[in-house]
Structure 1
């Protein structure tokens, strides 16, 4: 784990231990970490792991405060990931309108990343839950059962995005690009820019100015 992810883990752990404004602070930490990196699935997963590890390490051994902290942290992460899906959609639309070529491979990679975002979130949470204390493991199991039955914010947003992207692809509004690796990287950078804009709108300090 690099220094940035260690910092994310530490900040989330301290936030959970404090019990103060967990949702808002974890959301801000997560958005900051995501917008400082290329917004591809590997980096997103690294941020997820750091956030969830920090949560697990900071949780109280007592059930009620641990459950509250777990709920607020996972909601913050889930909501942030749904914004990530939105940013990815905007990036693909931007690329479709401005690049001369856009390969089907790039499109498939972007779609696959979106399809896997919810599963990656839940799988990462399951892995972290297994390595936590008994209280954390029980809370994680209950959450995962509920989430797999009822869905998550990122899952719902991803499905909406995928429907919109499928319409974009079918209507032929996207161009066709060669050079898949370069374009996939470009899309991830564009998505990061859109997520930074979303993060700025969500920042209460900036909103009040």
Structure 2
């Protein structure tokens, strides 16, 4: 399956979930977590998944009529919470990799931490895109949400802050501690993060099934 089709599949699944009007939050969250764990947990993959989810929300939200605001809030909150789990998994990946410091460089950890810090901005920028090419009602809903989120904070922003606080106590690595390929190290961190997120997602599914 090509990457383009994978993005289309996510977009279509989210659109169907929002269109259904039933259990929107849980369905969108499940779709997002599944898409995030399908490949490495790097910033490129996370951004593409978020974009596909947002497009799916945008495709469906205009048809929700009087329920548009509620449907939008549920769907976007699901994306927010899924990204928060991605931030948590990325933090745990860095902490796990830190125990193997000889395999990584100062740059690798800084880059991974910087990506975590950027997640909230990426999330809000992605949500704002839904307003483009939408009717005024949808645009107003999107703008109200992003304005409120910037003032009160987001789940992913909160988790990113927790992650950065935890990571500040990691040892200060020498810039001379390098491996042969920075790309290989970044990929390894993303692989670890993806595995951790998959475990978190499975735990959430098990908890949900018991309710």
| TM-score of the pair, normalised by structure 1 | 0.92
Q: Is the 8 A contact 1:114 1:158 kept in 2?
A: yes
| TM-score of the pair, normalised by structure 2 | 0.91
Distance in 1 separating the partners of 2:100 and 2:163: 19
**Partner of residue 21, structure 2:** 19
**Partner of residue 181, structure 1:** 183
Q: Note closer, same or farther for the CA distance 1:206–1:141 as it changes in structure 2 (3 Å cut).
A: closer
Give the gaps of 5 or more residues in structure 1.
none
Q: Is the 8 A contact 2:62 2:135 kept in 1?
A: no
Distance in 2 separating the partners of 1:169 and 1:114: 18
Moved segments of 4+, more than 3 Å: 60-64, 204-208
SS in 2 for 1:169: coil
Q: Is the 8 A contact 2:28 2:75 kept in 1?
A: yes
CA RMSD of aligned residues (A): 2.0
**Partner of residue 203, structure 1:** 205
**2:78 is equivalent to residue 86 of structure 1:** no
SS in 2 for 1:73: helix
Offset of 1:194 from its aligned partner? 0.2
Q: Is the 8 A contact 1:99 1:177 kept in 2?
A: no
> Higher mean Cα deviation, 142-151 or 121-130?
121-130
**Partner of residue 147, structure 1:** 149
Q: Is the 8 A contact 1:200 1:206 kept in 2?
A: no
Distance in 2 separating the partners of 1:188 and 1:152: 23
1:3-152 superposed matches below 5 A: 3-61=5-63, 64-152=66-154
Give the gaps of 5 or more residues in structure 2.
none
**What is the number of equivalent residue pairs in this alignment?**
206
Distance in 2 separating the partners of 1:40 and 1:168: 21
Q: Note closer, same or farther for the CA distance 1:136–1:206 as it changes in structure 2 (3 Å cut).
A: closer
Distance in 1 separating the partners of 2:6 and 2:27: 17
Q: Note closer, same or farther for the CA distance 1:99–1:207 as it changes in structure 2 (3 Å cut).
A: farther
